[in-house]
Structure 1
Amino acid sequence: MPLSPEEKMYVQHTITNTKDGLDKLFEISKHNYDNERDYMPNRPP
């Protein structure tokens, strides 16, 4: 579900003002990537 520009601004503002926010976001992204990777055996290298 795509975010509206207002929502993106809010998310960016929240992350930037949260201590370790980017690290947390990176962990979530990496976790999601690892999960997707497990589900996609035919992914390109």
Structure 2
Amino acid sequence: MRSGIFALSGVRLLRLVVGTGLLLAGMALLIAHGLSWLRMHCW
């Protein structure tokens, strides 16, 4: 029973880490795209 609880918390932790990583990667891509767009239009 206890091993099942540990496995569940591990899966939750993994999903949290993956979700956070994807969110950060998406934000980084968005920022990079916005900066390149600003450079193209402002210069």
TM-score (structure 1 length as normaliser):
0.47
Structure with greater contact order relative to length (CA < 8 Å, sep ≥ 6) = 1
Structure showing the higher helix proportion among its residues: 2
> Rg: which structure is higher?
2
